[in-house]
Chain A
Amino acid sequence: MKRHLLEAADLDRDDATLVLDTAAQIDASLAGREVKKLPTLRGRTVVNLFYEDSTRTRISFELAAKRLSADVINFSAKGSSVSKGESLKDTALTLEAMGSDAIVVRHSASGAPHRLAQWVKGSVVNAGDGTHEHPTQALLDAYTIRRRLGRLDGVRVGIVGDVLHSRVARSNVGLLHTLGAEVTLVAPPTLLPVGVGSWPVEVSYDLDAVLPKADVVMMLRVQAERMNASFFPSAREYSRRYGLDARRMAALTDEAIVMHPGPMNRGMEIAAEVADSVRSTIVEQVANGVSVRMAVLYLLLGGTPS
């Protein structure tokens, strides 16, 4: 493992598998226990440095760190020196001077975690940067797929929606490819990056053609404000062409699962009856996120000689 987890490409196949296996062992060893806490990272300090609001991701990392007995500091950009104009670098060096061993960072600027990693000695975990990557989301998605379907190699995954602006899509494309899955991106051409031709994926503009062949359908959040920038004409047209409703869900094979990184726009990219169906892994994804993040923190921090 590298010292930081900044993007899916930081994990080769062995590393990624180690994370998933470790998460599985942690899950198994904590299952049914009253005391869901391990002493592994006692005395280590994990800082959640969040420049964007993301309560669910922050809580997931916080829980993961606390279950490993690390001390957790939540540093939100709001109401802190950051809002008074302190630079990212000064903030990072301040946190490190206070003894942080790892910084979990969420930032609206793509590459901000890379910059942090150039400045600090501890580990940096990317918890989502701009429209770049969100590698722990991809790990928890891969973990969820493996638990549901028993494998990742050869699994056919359709990723549907706003790929252009999605860090979840970028990380999933990279990680799923590393783990041997076959990814098809489905989106209107306006929501695909110009350079998508160089990605290790198939591209389709037709959701109905992809569904019957998919083992996994991963729906991405589509923000209605994209409509105002003419990425698509209207929410209704988007939903009609690229939304997953009960009729479309019926085209899936019996084993196929439906995923969503949350938060969902019910009625936009996903219909309520799909989100609440037995195919849906949306709640599992949240639970698995904690285990996967525990595995990541353990593997990044556990082995760092002080």
Chain B
Amino acid sequence: MTILIKGARPYGEDAADILLKDGLIVTVGEHLEVPRAEVVDAGGLIALPGLVDLHTHLREPGREDAETVETGSRAAALGGFTAVHAMANTDPVADTAGVVEQVWRLGQEAGLVDVVPVGAVTVGLRGERLAELGAMADSAARVRVFSDDGQCVADPALMRRALEYVKAFDGVVAQHAEEPRLTAGAQMNEGDRSSRLGLAGWPAAAEEAVIARDVLLAGHVGARLHVCHVSTAGSVEIIRWAKSRGVRVTAEVTPHHLLLTDACAESYDPVFKVNPPLRTDADVAALRAGLADGTIDAVATDHAPHAVEDKESEWAQARPGMLGLEQALSVVIETMVEPGLLDWRAVADRMSVRPAAIGRLTGHGRPLAVGEPANLLLLDPSYRGVVDPAALASRSRNSPYAGRELPGRVVATFLRGTATVMDGKAQK
């Protein structure tokens, strides 16, 4: 199939025509005329490399009522993603080659994005003994990112062994940094608001203490460490310090932590309950600054679908987590691009290039250039629209952005030269 994209602006720069053929970008130039090519009029649209998510919960197997690999893949494609890392906290847990291969195969069958399984660090996420990390790495799913996300690998000796062990296949441990003894029963960020709302607090120190420990361990054993969903100003400081010392640490921030604060909890609406919790204005400012200066490498959605009954309840009874795939780019535009903190090349870097590099994905995060894989998206930057949860492709409705006006709309997404999204609609 041959597709000619007319007049798109790569990275928001000068308009060009882009010709996609046989899964590759074969020509970039002006006034291209190609017989029998399908022409996409992209006047006014920005072209970016297909986005890569390091942190997605697809819920399959186990909670297909909340999301499936297929519905999650569709949401991802609509958000401009061409690859997503599917977290391991499914039921059964993705802690064996069998489960990760199943998820990987379901992703291939859906065919909307590359679904890259994340393997559990410990058996059953129980934090007691290592899962068969090597088997998952050697499987068809080629797992390189390992995480007990949802649970912290709290045992420091176990964490050290995991960091060391995955060096053998260039893997990385993605840590959900949360000291469990400091967050027993925690419901929201600990501070002024939690004290007034009477919700048990999740102190910033519970995240920062684990990150500090882990960067020291990673530095000591010379291993790669990735920090999931960094949420506090102190965490940014610690990661900045560790990087200055040469520690091989990378970090991600979620769209919701870039936009929302613990003020959202005032409504007691659990759509705003998430782990780590929404923090303060000062934390949001530090996260934006950290993402701008590269201390934080990537935006990762932590897309966490939940069934209605798991959210339409008392705050304490609700499950933590919120949707993110379909609004991630819009939130980054709102919080980073429009305030002038990131330009479009930097957006491509934080949402495609670096996450692909962290996950060791060779076919993603590549430049928009001749000979590269044709994984890209077309964005209408002038669009502004109100988020309607009912219109989302995700099977769940727990979007924290419901009713909020956000900028930007993904018009088309191409995975290896095939449109997965066209005119804002998923192609399957």
Contacts and interface: CB of A to CB of B under 8 A. Distances in A.
- Chains A and B in contact, CB within 8 Å: yes
Interface of A: 87-89, 107-112, 114-115, 118, 129-133, 167, 170, 193-199
B271 to A, nearest CB: 12
Nearest to B190: A194
A198 B195 contact: yes
A196 B191 CA distance: 9
Contacts of B200: 131
B35 interface: no
Interface string B173-204: 00000000000000100111111111111010
B268 interface: yes
A196 B315 contact: no
B309 interface: yes
A193 B314 contact: no
Contacts of B201: 193-194
Given A194-B195, A196-B195, 15 more contacts: A87-B313, A88-B314, A109-B317, A110-B268, A115-B315, A118-B269, A130-B199, A130-B316, A132-B198, A170-B196, A193-B201, A194-B201, A195-B191, A195-B195, A195-B196
B195 A112 contact: no
A196 to B, nearest CB: 6
Given A110-B316, A115-B268, A170 B203 contact: no
B267 interface: yes
Contacts of A133: 198
B388 interface: no
A5 B225 CA distance: 49
A195 B314 contact: no
A198 B221 CA distance: 43
A130 B187 CA distance: 12
A107 B198 contact: no
Interface in B314-336: 314-317
A295 to B, nearest CB: 25
A111 B193 CA distance: 13
A170 B193 CA distance: 12
B33 interface: no
B268 A114 contact: yes
B65 interface: no
Nearest to B203: A194
Nearest to B268: A111
10 contacts: A89-B312, A110-B197, A110-B268, A115-B314, A130-B316, A132-B199, A170-B196, A194-B194, A195-B193, A198-B196
A198 B262 CA distance: 15
Contact of A130 (B196, B198, B269): B198
Nearest to A51: B314
B315 A87 contact: no
A2 to B, nearest CB: 15
A241 B194 CA distance: 27
A186 B194 CA distance: 20
A113 B149 CA distance: 32
Contact of A195 (B192, B267, B312): B192
A195 B203 CA distance: 11
A172 to B, nearest CB: 13
A133 B268 CA distance: 13
Contacts of B269: 115, 118
A113 B148 CA distance: 35
A129 B203 contact: no
A111 B190 contact: no
Given A88-B313, A89-B313, A111 B195 contact: no
A5 to B, nearest CB: 15
A109 B193 contact: no
Contact of B197 (A118, A132, A194, A197): A132
Given A110-B268, A115-B314, A194-B203, A170 B198 contact: yes
A103 B285 CA distance: 42
Contacts of B198: 110-111, 129-133, 167, 170
B196 to A, nearest CB: 7
A222 B195 CA distance: 18
A285 to B, nearest CB: 22
A133 B198 CA distance: 8
A296 B77 CA distance: 54
B295 to A, nearest CB: 26
B43 to A, nearest CB: 45
A238 B192 CA distance: 26
Contacts of B191: 194-195
A195 B194 contact: yes
A199 to B, nearest CB: 7
Contact of A198 (B192, B199, B314): B192
A301 to B, nearest CB: 23
Nearest to A117: B268
B196 A87 contact: no
B199 to A, nearest CB: 5
Interface string B266-281: 0111000000000000
A194 B204 CA distance: 12
B280 to A, nearest CB: 11
Nearest to B317: A109
A158 to B, nearest CB: 19
B194 A193 contact: yes
A86 to B, nearest CB: 11
Contact of B315 (A110, A167, A197): A110
Given A131-B198, A194-B201, A195-B196, A112 B314 contact: yes
A96 to B, nearest CB: 16
Complex A-B, nearest 6 residue pairs according to Cβ-Cβ distance, in ascending order: A132-B198, A111-B268, A195-B195, A193-B195, A109-B314, A195-B192
A115 B270 CA distance: 9
Contacts of B316: 108-110, 130
A198 B190 CA distance: 13
A229 B208 CA distance: 23
A115 B269 CA distance: 7
Contacts of B190: 194-195
Greatest chain A CB density within 10 A among B193, B196, B200, B201 is at B196
A131 B200 CA distance: 8
A133 B199 CA distance: 11
Interface in B224-250: none
A109 B197 CA distance: 11
Greatest chain A CB density within 10 A among B195, B198, B199 is at B198
Contacts of A170: 196, 198
Contacts of B194: 193-195
B332 to A, nearest CB: 30
A250 B269 CA distance: 48
A202 B192 CA distance: 15
A133 B196 CA distance: 9
